[in-house]
Amino acid sequence: MIGNKLRARLKAGEVLTMLNTHHVSSGLAQRMIEVGADAVFLDCEHGMWSHDDIRSHAQAARSVGGAGIVRPHSHERPVMIRYLNAGADGLMVPMVNTAEETTAIVEAVRYALPHSYEDRLVICMIETPEAIANLDEMLKVEGVDVFFVGPSDLSQNMGYSPALPASEPRPAEVVEAIEHVFDKVRAAGLATGTLVREVDIAHWTDKGGQFLYIHSDPFLQAGMKKMRGLISA
């Protein structure tokens, strides 16, 4: 199954990419896998995907060898269970701050899928200074595949603007915090990842990032800008 395959690739040291299409279209999700993404991001925290959409998008991604990873709007147990039952290939759970919360997420996945939980990827998002302070205890919880740093929310929770121009580096204090998380997660033998932009992809892969989340919009904008330049040349 897809979750097991992605987990095996992470353990082998591969770098995986997950693309946010920003559009509710199973055909587009399928196409993103066909052109090279390993997974599509189905954002139910900020996006508009329904449970039926989760089922159709995950099926479309799986049909061409990829995965549909859902971010629920919270880590409420019934919410996570519903998305798993709808067919999510993995959960990327936001704002996980303690070992107790981490344990509850793993237990919810295993309750929802007692015979097939290993087929699902479990990703916990590190987005606050509190989570970083508790990371040592969180890393002791068995069943998490990826500890993923959400740089925008972490920036905001550290007192910086969450939004940056595509070419502008993140504040040094935020970068250092993310590197600190990467070091601890890798030392524990687990995979880590973060949202990347073209300007910092090389940096985070050099630091050991294996699960890279990418927005499609910057690439679409760059492509259209190049096209307009060619037309006016």
Q: What is the predicted pLDDT for the residue at 115?
A: 94
The rounded average pLDDT for each run of 10 residues, N- to C-terminus, in the chain (233 residues) is 90 96 92 95 92 96 96 95 96 98 98 95 98 98 98 94 82 96 97 93 96 87 83 77
Q: What is the pTM of this model?
A: 0.93
Are the C-beta atoms of 52 and 81 separated by less than 8 Å?
Answer: no
- Predicted pLDDT of residue 1: 64
Residue pair 209/192 in contact (Cβ under 8 Å)? The answer is yes
pLDDT at residue 87, rounded to an integer: 95
What's the one-letter identity of residue 115? H
163 residue type, one letter: A
The CATH code that applies to domain 2-232 is: 3.20.20.60
Angstrom distance (rounded) from CA 17 to CA 80:
23
User: Three-state SS across 145-166?
Assistant: CEEEECHHHHHHHCCCCCCCCC
* Helix 77-85 × helix 99-112 angle, to 10°: 40
Question: Per-domain residue ranges for the chain?
Answer: 2-232
| Beta-carbon contacts of residue 213 (< 8 Å; ≥ 6 apart) | 18, 19, 20, 41, 148, 193, 194, 195, 196
